[in-house]
């Protein structure tokens, strides 16, 4: 059985079922344990791994920062695909002189094509100024799902220049990795697992080899497009589809899965050099002498 965030020694099925029931009924707060409260106190996002055990698909959900009796509180979990959850924000926020709704966003469960709907709503609200991501970060905990959707989500997140993170108690596996790769900056405190993609159907088709070659080409192009090394593609293809390889800490750095890609780092360096009125050469010398300028962990810095 896949663990649910390591919450004590309680039965995993009962914890997961209760958690999802409370999400659906808006009674999430009653399901929080000491572990969840610790995450909230540190400004982190609640995430759940292994939701395929409960037949729950992945979905981008959020909690908004609200004022209750003069005190700031995070709301119950809301869904981008539920009009009632985003309607009030669309009608009352985002215009000139209005407050921006600060939200914490996370993705959990099996990724399906329906999840692109929620992502499109989120993107529209961020672009219009109706919402602002806490730490500019989305948190991931998913066993995988539709690889094409994973890549589409990854491209969308990269365009939005959002950061992605995996908490130390969570896992991002299979197709989830491709969505996670979209982060402009990435942080892996938990586990990230890869394996070779496969077609879910078994029907005989004379053009199946050609279709698989197209799948390979699409994956290679995606990895190159998002500025990851070709060695990452090779590592993915070496793992049989029935297996899952947890990427080591050293390989996370080598593949740029934990950190920032060269193209993105160049853009950040150029912007910082302009801000400091330095040439690139001067800024890079300054950066080399100031280790704190190097990107280390999105989760802790939020920069």
CATH number of the domain within which 91 lies: 3.90.226.10
Domain assignment of residue 17, yes or no? no
Domain assignment of residue 142, yes or no? yes
* Category of 97 on φ-ψ map: left (φ > 0), alpha (ψ -120 to 50) or beta: left
Domain assignment of residue 18, yes or no? no
User: Domain tally for the chain?
Assistant: 1
Q: Where are the beta strands (DSSP E) in 55-100?
A: 59-68, 71-74, 78-79
Domain assignment of residue 41, yes or no? no
Domain assignment of residue 75, yes or no? yes
**Cα separation of 93 and 87, whole Å?**
10
Domain assignment of residue 229, yes or no? yes
Domain assignment of residue 23, yes or no? no
Give the pair of three-digit tokens for residue 205: 């088709």
Q: What pTM value is reported for the model?
A: 0.74
Domain range enclosing 165: 57-260
Per-residue CA distances from 255 to 18, 75, 183, 264 (Å):
38, 37, 14, 14
**Cα separation of 7 and 302, whole Å?**
26
Closest alpha carbon to 261 in 161, 189, 176:
161
Domain assignment of residue 40, yes or no? no
pLDDT in tens, the chain (303 residues): 222 222 223 333 333 333 333 333 333 333 333 333 333 333 333 332 222 333 345 578 888 877 777 777 788 888 888 888 887 665 544 444 456 788 999 898 899 888 899 999 999 999 988 899 999 999 999 999 999 999 999 999 999 999 999 999 999 999 999 999 999 999 999 999 999 998 888 888 899 999 999 999 999 999 999 999 999 999 999 999 999 999 999 999 999 999 999 998 999 899 999 999 999 999 999 889 886 655 443 333 333
Per-residue CA distances from 241 to 174, 202, 209, 223, 271 (Å):
9, 14, 16, 18, 41
């Amino acid at each position: 059985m896949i663990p649910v965030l390591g919450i004590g020694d309680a039965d995993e099925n009962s914890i997961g079922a209760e958690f999802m029931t409370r999400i659906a009924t808006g009674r999430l707060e009653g399901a929080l344990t000491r572990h969840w409260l610790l995450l909230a106190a540190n400004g982190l996002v609640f995430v759940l791994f292994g939701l395929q055990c409960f037949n729950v698909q992945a979905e981008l959900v959020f909690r908004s920062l609200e004022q209750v009796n003069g005190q700031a509180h995070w709301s119950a979990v809301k869904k981008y695909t539920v009009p009632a959850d985003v309607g009030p924000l669309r009608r009352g926020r985002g215009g000139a002189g209005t407050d921006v709704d600060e939200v914490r966003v996370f993705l959990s469960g099996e990724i399906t094509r329906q999840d692109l709907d929620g992502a499109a709503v989120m993107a529209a609200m961020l672009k219009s100024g109706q919402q602002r991501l806490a730490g500019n970060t989305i948190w991931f905990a998913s066993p995988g799902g539709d690889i094409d959707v994973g890549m589409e989500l990854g491209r969308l997140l990269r365009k939005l220049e959002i950061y992605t993170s995996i908490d130390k108690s969570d896992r991002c596996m299979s197709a989830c990795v491709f969505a996670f790769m979209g982060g402009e900056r990435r942080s892996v405190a938990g586990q990230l697992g890869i394996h070779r993609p496969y077609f879910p159907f078994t029907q005989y088709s004379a053009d199946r080899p050609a279709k698989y070659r197209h799948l390979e080409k699409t994956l290679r192009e995606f990895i190159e497009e998002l500025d990851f090394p070709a060695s990452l593609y090779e590592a993915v293809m070496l793992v049989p589809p029935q297996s899952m390889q947890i990427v080591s800490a050293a390989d996370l750095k080598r593949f740029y899965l934990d950190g920032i890609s060269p193209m993105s780092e160049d853009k950040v360096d150029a912007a910082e050099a302009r801000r400091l009125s330095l040439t690139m050469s001067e800024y890079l010398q300054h950066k080399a002498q100031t280790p704190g300028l190097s990107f280390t962990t999105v989760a802790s810095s939020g920069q």
